Structure 1
Amino acid sequence: MQNLLNLPTPTPGIKGLKSFSDTIESYIRELEGIGRYQKSYGSLLIPLILNKVPCFVRQNITRDHRNDDWDISSLRKAIQKEICIQEADPIETDIIPTASIVTETTHKRWRPTGSEGNEYIHALTTNGLHRIHIILEELNGTLRYADYSIFHVGDESTKYLLNVTGYSGNAGDCLDSDDISGRANGMKFTTKDQDYDRWSLNCAATYKGGWWYSKCDYCDLNGKYGIHGPSWYLDLHGLVKSSTMMITKV
């Protein structure tokens, strides 16, 4: 417990954050190993660490409202996610909101304006080459990622045509899949009142969220949380708990 009181503040940058993560993990394992964590330190451990955690990590840590304790798994997850973001590129990265189990997407009609709209993404990706880094959280809390070295969204005259290639990662190539039924690359953006998918019905109306649908399969990070989404098939095999899309200029 004395070690926690002397927990160092992490130094700036990804190396400092990784070192800080390793340090608190060793303290947590020590407490868990001697069987005192849940009984004696459950409500004390996280607040002590929170005093040292940077604000950009702290804001992503949730509280267990059932017993008013801070959730240790949430702390670990928040630090892991921030490391993923910094590894992508902490400088000049634009984060695009997507649907999640916590924040449900809005089911809107065609409206190409707004800070979260396709017109904004088009403007971001028009000046020079851009890549995209996508962090995906599975239902069991596992974090996966998908990187694409080329990412561009066209303007309204192209119906926000998606150009995305150059996959790498451990989530599976969902956006530029060899399977045409799931491939988002080369598709126009479908909403509930603008249908450009390859399916007989409107995928956006069915899945309750706009996306670059082909035949409604595989990828849909804007779908209403539930049976139909948000989803990222291949290596994740289905539903996604949360996702973060980060666009960076090359």
Structure 2
Amino acid sequence: MDLLEHRYGQPHKIISAFMRSLWDLPEPSEDYHSLRNFYDKLESHIRGLKSLGKKDDSYGDLLVPIVMDKLPGQIRKQIARDHGKNEWTLPDIRKAIQKEIEAIHAGDATDVQSNSNPAVTAAFHTRSETTRKQFIRKPRICTFCKGSHPSNECKAVTDVDKRREIVQHHGLCYNCFGNH
């Protein structure tokens, strides 16, 4: 145990590695995933330092300008606008980045919703009877025996070669049994 602790138990080297990793963090883009990845790595390194007894007030003042310089200009402007003229601390910048990530993600979710089918959205929100009728599933007709059950539950035609023959004969899609 003493040999292992002597060889590997060198917290100053681990702390230096965390600090180097913080310095070498790649600059994120304004993209949600890139910024989220940057933030997660930043948090991981800061928490690693904390687990070794290093508090962010001992290195935070040095890290704040480094992190700010890595952020894309548009994001830097936005978080500065929200923060005002107050002096930045490491916890402040971490919260600001997280808030910006949440805002970008919420904006992306809004874009997806606005591009969705309006009839589906209307049915979801208003539950109108006429719109809902459009989305009621019709009973499935089996591709293989023409029974009133889904094709994957067919008990009449179980032979794989026979099923393949039916699909080929009707020129159906092997994936969905559609005619396209």
Q: TM-score range by the shorter chain?
A: 0.3 to 0.5
- More helix by percentage: 2
Structure possessing the higher relative contact order (Cα contacts under 8 Å, 6 or more residues apart): 1
Q: Please give the TM-score of this superposition, normalised by the length of structure 1.
A: 0.32
**Which protein has the larger Cα radius of gyration, Structure 1 or Structure 2?**
2
- More strand by percentage: 1
